[in-house]
Structure 1
Amino acid sequence: MDTLPELFDKVSLTTYDPDSSYHVKITHINNPHSFYARPTAYTTYLPSLEAKGEPINAEEVQLKDMVVFKSKTLNKSLRGSIFNIDNKYFDIFTPDYGFLEKKVPVTDIFKPKILGVVPPLAVHCRLANCKPITAKWEDKAIESMKFFVGEERALLCVVEKNPQILTVVLKNSCPDDISLMLAYCGHSVLGYVENQVSRLTSPPCQKLYYTYRELKLNDHIRVRMQSGKLPNDFYVAVREDYEQYLDQQYNYTYFCKKFCKLEVIDRLQVHKPVSVRMDVTYKYERGIIKEIISNSKVRVLLVDLGTTIETHVASLKVLSDRFLHYPAAAIHCCLDKNQLNETKLLTCVHPGNEFFITILEVGDNIEKPHVVKITPI
């Protein structure tokens, strides 16, 4: 109770300045342009605000009165403001959650224990850089937003504010912010709605290249054979990078199934990072376009396996920049010329085998392979 006076000063729309950010709980979603978020820092005040006082008589209740009521929606007592009165039933808006509870009987309404004007804890928001495909939000877009938001804590980044609503970017453990996730799934369009002003005039720039393990001259590392043939063109992987690739495979495939096909939102470009659906396993692999064969066929290097495949463009999808930040597992190598005559070595190195390599000349892992010496274990 003693901490509530400080809440009176803290909670106000005017505190949500542009470029500020807050960890929040998303409490209610109408659609991507109308949802409510409550800073997690305010959670500690809820028990006091939701404490029930004395029962209330129907004759005492007036529009906009603040009460505490039993909510069937959340199965708990909530603070609410009387929105509509219909005989002895009441529609009540919840300022700490953002939804309207209808037909609450007077027997479920109580006076609040905390008297005085406590500002709403939930703030009304809309997603920036996001607009519906049709004239209004379709049900599948709303359901997708609820799925991506989930129950976890999110980071709310304020882009613009006005007295009625905040325009925000919303981020959580999804590979990209919620606006981009909806666009990847084809449920929204990246852009702005009428009367919405933002300094972001285009979608955030994506990282358009893979991260590779940094190798230096004379590095001596243990690797596994990924693919290719000795001596001139083969790929290896450091065990830690390969294990990380395996750990990421499930999440990667899960999110790729929800992304747009590449040809829907972008043109084919050589050296462009892409996601590739494998016809046999139905899993997705990270790749880079090596050659455009035709309008429907491309040759793609799988950067974690080192193999190059020919595939239809319908098998390609957008690659989220989240999946560009862990290193490509496959390291492009060629054998030092002094080992070319070691026939036994050339025949015993097969995919899956482990051995040591020593870097004799550093390559770029794209066009120029690393020149290495192999040492059997």
Structure 2
Amino acid sequence: MEEIERMVAELSIDSFEVESMHWVEVTHIIDPFTFYIRLNKYKSFIQILESMEPTTKCTCLNLHDLVIFNMGHSCGARKYIRGRISSILTGDDFMECEIFAIDYGFSEKLIPIEYIWECSQDLAKTPPLAYDCQLANCYPIRSEFFSLDTVNAFRYYASIEPIKMKVLGKKPHKLLVDLIISIPESIATLLAIGGYSMLGYYYDPIAWSPIVGQKRMFFNFKKLTVDEIIHVKYLSGDSTREFHVAEVSDFKKHLNEVDFISFYARREFSLSPVHLIEGTLVCVKIDDKNIYERAFIKKVTKPKESAIVQLVDWGRDEEFPVGKMKYMSSQCLRTPVLSIYCKVEESQACDSGLEDMLFIGNEFNITMKKLGHEFECPNTVAISHRVDLDEARALCEVNYE
């Protein structure tokens, strides 16, 4: 017992070194933002405690008292663990408590007083062995909360084999950690690959180290309304069923914004090959112009090596090696996506002359007939204000030279 006391007395959240590695057991999971671990080296102590018969019954209980209780009382088993009383329910002939299990991280409700004992002084001196943790790089998909499927997947990955924990940062009462099993990917990456969560890329501002997690980021899109007429410039696409344009005034502003995006992208870390996952927001380097463009990973062509990305401000798909990708800075998201995803309404779809208008740089007007959704569904538009094609091409050649 003295050896155990000496070991745990040296261990608090402050004593965990950033970048240190530990073999752990995940003892209780609420979700990836809140779960509890216990170091494997205290397993023998826990086994002894669970089978140790307590002797002194409690006659008077108060909130926050440290006690021993039988967690297996409801099924006739004997499993004794330490806990702190969080609430007391009393009646004429009964007293029941809710107790937080300090070596496990969960709460047990409605524990009758006859199954509660005093905690000895020796055990009371032993600090709690369960530590509150947050899984780094792991964030809900388009919500503030994790789904039940995500929580269940996390529980599965955390239970199938021994886990090594890497401490990546610290908050006042919580460790920011990475959980690693035998396969190369971390549990956070496995959850993202399975579509249960999204990866983040930078540490929370109050964490102590420089790279792990920030809440999931999304592109902003231009607000459009039905019957709105917009003067646009053609960007990409090869048919009236699917093409991208940009409002001319926005296009001129974006030429200056590219320098801003490139400035912040150069300051970010290169994308880790394990984060080459479909849906990830990235900035990609355009070598011939020495700039960075905003994009998202559309399809991984070679795992951990290359992927097709959509250049969101142009609507084009191009393949890039992971070495040309940087993590997306929140500073790069201050302006909406430049391109507007469109298709021509059915009444104009048979007009073969429209196909001749769809070349890079050509300008015309569109009228919004039906709103789409981001890059998933095109906006239905009517094209008007056709310009002389030869004149338009000549003008474009001047602008693009």
So what's the TM-score if we normalise by structure 2? 0.50
Report the equivalent of 1:103: 110
Report the equivalent of 1:273: 302
- 1:111 maps to a residue whose letter is E
**Counterpart selection for 2:135 from 115, 119, 127:** 127
Report the equivalent of 1:199: 210
Contact 1:52 1:68 in 2 (8 A): no
Report the Cα distance in structure 1 between the residues aligned to 2:270 and 2:157, rounded to whole angstroms: 19
Compare 35-44 and 148-157 and name the one that shifted more. Answer: 148-157
Report the Cα distance in structure 2 between the residues aligned to 1:31 and 1:196, rounded to whole angstroms: 20
SS in 2 for 1:136: coil
Q: CA deviation at 1:120?
A: 0.9
- 1:137 maps to a residue whose letter is F
Report the equivalent of 1:307: none
- 1:183 maps to a residue whose letter is A
Report the equivalent of 2:26: 26
Report the Cα distance in structure 1 between the residues aligned to 2:81 and 2:275, rounded to whole angstroms: 47
1:285-319 superposed Cα distances (whole Å, 9 cap, x missing partner): xx999xxxxx99x9xxxxxxxxxxxxxxxxxxxxx
Give runs of aligned pairs for residues 226-375 of structure 1, distance below 5 A.
266-268=297-299, 272-274=301-303
**Counterpart selection for 1:79 from 61, 77, 82:** 82
Report the equivalent of 1:39: 39
Contact 2:87 2:97 in 1 (8 A): yes
Contact 1:208 1:273 in 2 (8 A): no
Report the Cα distance in structure 1 between the residues aligned to 2:114 and 2:149, rounded to whole angstroms: 37
In the alignment, is residue 144 of structure 1 matched against residue 173 of structure 2?
no
Report the Cα distance in structure 1 between the residues aligned to 2:165 and 2:131, rounded to whole angstroms: 11
SS in 1 for 2:134: strand
Report the Cα distance in structure 2 between the residues aligned to 1:117 and 1:36, rounded to whole angstroms: 21
Q: CA deviation at 1:4?
A: 2.8
- 1:86 maps to a residue whose letter is L
Q: CA deviation at 1:8?
A: 4.0
Contact 2:203 2:211 in 1 (8 A): no
Q: CA deviation at 1:168?
A: 0.5
Report the Cα distance in structure 2 between the residues aligned to 1:203 and 1:94, rounded to whole angstroms: 42
Mark the CA change 1:288 to 1:177 in structure 2 (over 3 Å): closer, same or farther.
Answer: closer
Report the Cα distance in structure 2 between the residues aligned to 1:265 and 1:129, rounded to whole angstroms: 17
Report the Cα distance in structure 2 between the residues aligned to 1:204 and 1:171, rounded to whole angstroms: 19
Report the Cα distance in structure 1 between the residues aligned to 2:280 and 2:17, rounded to whole angstroms: 37
For structure 2, the residue ranges without an aligned partner over 5 or more in a row are: 213-268, 282-294, 308-315, 320-401
1:247-299 superposed Cα distances (whole Å, 9 cap, x missing partner): xxxxxxxxxxxx96999962457xx4259xxxxxxxxxxx999xxxxx99x9x
- 2:54 maps to a residue whose letter is G
- 2:23 maps to a residue whose letter is H
SS in 1 for 2:27: strand
Report the Cα distance in structure 2 between the residues aligned to 1:208 and 1:152, rounded to whole angstroms: 23
Report the Cα distance in structure 2 between the residues aligned to 1:55 and 1:105, rounded to whole angstroms: 15
Report the Cα distance in structure 2 between the residues aligned to 1:147 and 1:3, rounded to whole angstroms: 34
Mark the CA change 1:111 to 1:158 in structure 2 (over 3 Å): closer, same or farther.
Answer: same
Any runs of at least 4 consecutive aligned residues in structure 1 with deviations exceeding 4 A, and if so which?
192-196, 201-204, 259-265
Report the Cα distance in structure 2 between the residues aligned to 1:67 and 1:85, rounded to whole angstroms: 13
Contact 1:131 1:193 in 2 (8 A): no
Q: CA deviation at 1:157?
A: 0.4
Q: CA RMSD in A?
A: 3.5
Report the Cα distance in structure 1 between the residues aligned to 2:275 and 2:124, rounded to whole angstroms: 54
Report the Cα distance in structure 2 between the residues aligned to 1:261 and 1:144, rounded to whole angstroms: 20
Q: CA deviation at 1:115?
A: 4.1
Mark the CA change 1:162 to 1:193 in structure 2 (over 3 Å): closer, same or farther.
Answer: closer
Contact 2:49 2:80 in 1 (8 A): no
Mark the CA change 1:165 to 1:107 in structure 2 (over 3 Å): closer, same or farther.
Answer: same
Report the Cα distance in structure 2 between the residues aligned to 1:43 and 1:52, rounded to whole angstroms: 18
Mark the CA change 1:183 to 1:204 in structure 2 (over 3 Å): closer, same or farther.
Answer: same
- 2:96 maps to a residue whose letter is Y
Q: CA deviation at 1:122?
A: 1.1
Q: CA deviation at 1:26?
A: 0.5
Report the equivalent of 2:189: 180
Q: CA deviation at 1:84?
A: 1.0
So what's the TM-score if we normalise by structure 1? 0.53
Mark the CA change 1:48 to 1:61 in structure 2 (over 3 Å): closer, same or farther.
Answer: farther
Q: CA deviation at 1:68?
A: 1.3
Q: CA deviation at 1:60?
A: 1.8
Mark the CA change 1:262 to 1:128 in structure 2 (over 3 Å): closer, same or farther.
Answer: closer
SS in 2 for 1:54: coil
Report the Cα distance in structure 1 between the residues aligned to 2:35 and 2:180, rounded to whole angstroms: 14
Report the Cα distance in structure 2 between the residues aligned to 1:205 and 1:125, rounded to whole angstroms: 23
SS in 1 for 2:54: strand
Report the equivalent of 1:69: 69
Contact 1:55 1:107 in 2 (8 A): no
- 2:133 maps to a residue whose letter is C
Q: CA deviation at 1:121?
A: 0.8
Q: CA deviation at 1:179?
A: 0.8
Report the equivalent of 2:162: 153
Instruction: Give the number of aligned pairs.
Output: 230
Report the equivalent of 2:53: 52
Contact 1:186 1:260 in 2 (8 A): no
Contact 1:52 1:110 in 2 (8 A): no
Mark the CA change 1:170 to 1:162 in structure 2 (over 3 Å): closer, same or farther.
Answer: same
Q: CA deviation at 1:117?
A: 2.0
Q: CA deviation at 1:36?
A: 0.5
